[in-house]
Structure 1
Amino acid sequence: MFHAVSYALLDSLNALLIGVVVALGVMLPRTGRYRRIVTLLIAGDWLGVFLLALITLLIFDGISDLVQQALESPVFGILLIAVGVLTLVLTVRGSGDGESALVKRLMKPLQEPSIRTVGVGFLLGVIQSATSVPFFAGLAYLSTSGLGPAVRYIGLFFYASLALSLPALSAVFVGMVRAHPFSPFGRAFEFMRTRQELMVKLAGYVVAVALTLFGIGALL
């Protein structure tokens, strides 16, 4: 269970969703419907993460023996290290603003709270999770945890929530900044906003180092 929680928290370093939340906080007028828009966006993202996690866990439970063998195999540790090193290389070589164009394109359907807002969040949740190694690794550990089916599947609610914890905290932080722009939160937000490349790179470094350490731990 510890491994599942660790990977879910690692998966919460969702730079794209956090970037969208920050962009909404900056671009929407002070009188805009920030809270409702962001709530619908994150709710849609949570639904996407949860449904993909449910499908994945059902598949993993159907091949639990193979999943257990994969987790116990040195190949799993080597794969984590390889992904960690690849993430590190891409982070070092990347400009840190590669997602900015996509974020700008996502702003159009997010100007008003609607079903489209939920839809954008849902797509972001599915895409982010489907391309995340920590997401699948955590579910693999959950599937082989030895817990009963009821506990595992109820646990998916918490798994999806943990995977959205950092974006949700970011949304609350941005909301506080909008309400109190000259507070310490406002100054911290301005610091991070003007150093977007640094923030994105830091997130990449954290993921790279964590995956590498997890991989080494799996080999020991």
Structure 2
Amino acid sequence: MIQAVSFGLLDSLNALLIGVIVALGVMLPRNAAYRRIVTLLILGDWFGVFLLSVITMVVFDGLGDLVQKALDSPVFGILLIATGVLTLVGTVRSNGSGDSPLVRRILAPLQAPSAKTVLVGFILGLAQSATSIPFFTGLAFLSAGDYHAAIRYVGLVVYASLALSLPTLSAVFVGLVRAYPYSVFGRAFEWMRNNRELVVKLAGYIVAVALTAFGIVALV
């Protein structure tokens, strides 16, 4: 269970969703419905993550002992280390601007709260999870654990929430900045904006080091 929680928290370092939330906080006018927009966005993202986690758990449960054998195999540790190294290389080579054309396209339908807001979040949740090694690794540990089926599937609610923990905290932080721009939150946000590359790269480094460390532990 600890492994599943660890990988769930690691999956919460969702740079794309956090970047969208921060961009909304900067771009939306002061009188805009920021709270409703971000709440619907995160809710949609949560449903995307939860749906994929349920599908993945059904598949993993159907594989039976193969999941545990894969986790016990040295190939699993090597895969984690390779992913960590690739993440590190990608982080070093990225410009860390966080202002990509993709983010700008995502922001277009998020100017007001609507069904599109939930849909965008849902698509982001599916896309982020489907391309996340920590997401699938955490579910593999949860599936291979000696837990009752009810506990595993109810636990997916917590797992999806863990995967959205950091974006949710980011949304609250940005909301406080918008409400109190001259507070300590506002000063911290201004520092992060002035050091955007450092902040983005730091998140990448954390994921890279954690994946590599988990891989080494799996091999020992």
TM over 0.5: yes
- The within-5 A match list for 1:5-44 is 5-44=5-44
- The within-5 A match list for 1:47-62 is 47-62=47-62
Identity %: 71
Gaps of 5+ in 1: none
Aligned with 2:211: secondary structure?
A: helix
- The within-5 A match list for 1:21-170 is 21-97=21-97, 100-170=100-170
CA–CA distance in structure 2, aligned partners of residues 126 and 197 of structure 1: 26
1:166 CA drift (Å):
0.0
CA deviations 1:160-205 (Å, max 9, x no partner) are 0000000000000000000000000000001112222211111100
CA–CA distance in structure 1, aligned partners of residues 11 and 64 of structure 2: 22
CA–CA distance in structure 1, aligned partners of residues 20 and 101 of structure 2: 11
1:130 CA drift (Å):
0.4
Contact 2:35 2:175 (8 Å CA) reproduced: yes
**Which deviates further from its counterpart, 34-43 or 185-194?**
185-194
Runs of 4+, deviation exceeding 3 Å: none
Partner of 1:206: 206
CA deviations 1:56-91 (Å, max 9, x no partner) are 000000002111100000000010001001110111
Contact 2:19 2:98 (8 Å CA) reproduced: no
Gaps of 5+ in 2: none
1:23 CA drift (Å):
0.5
Contact 1:7 1:137 (8 Å CA) reproduced: yes
Aligned with 1:147: secondary structure?
A: coil
Aligned with 2:20: secondary structure?
A: helix
1:100 CA drift (Å):
2.1
Contact 2:98 2:200 (8 Å CA) reproduced: no
CA–CA distance in structure 2, aligned partners of residues 141 and 64 of structure 1: 12
1:26 CA drift (Å):
0.5
Contact 1:16 1:99 (8 Å CA) reproduced: no
CA deviations 1:129-159 (Å, max 9, x no partner) are 0000000000000001110000000000000
CA–CA distance in structure 1, aligned partners of residues 102 and 194 of structure 2: 18
CA–CA distance in structure 1, aligned partners of residues 26 and 98 of structure 2: 19
CA–CA distance in structure 2, aligned partners of residues 34 and 194 of structure 1: 22
Aligned with 2:178: secondary structure?
A: helix
CA–CA distance in structure 1, aligned partners of residues 107 and 50 of structure 2: 24
- Pair 1:95–1:169, CA change in 2 (3 A): same
CA–CA distance in structure 2, aligned partners of residues 154 and 210 of structure 1: 27
CA–CA distance in structure 2, aligned partners of residues 8 and 206 of structure 1: 14
TM-score under structure 1 normalisation?
0.98
Contact 1:96 1:198 (8 Å CA) reproduced: yes
Aligned with 1:13: secondary structure?
A: coil
Q: How many correspondences in the alignment? A: 220
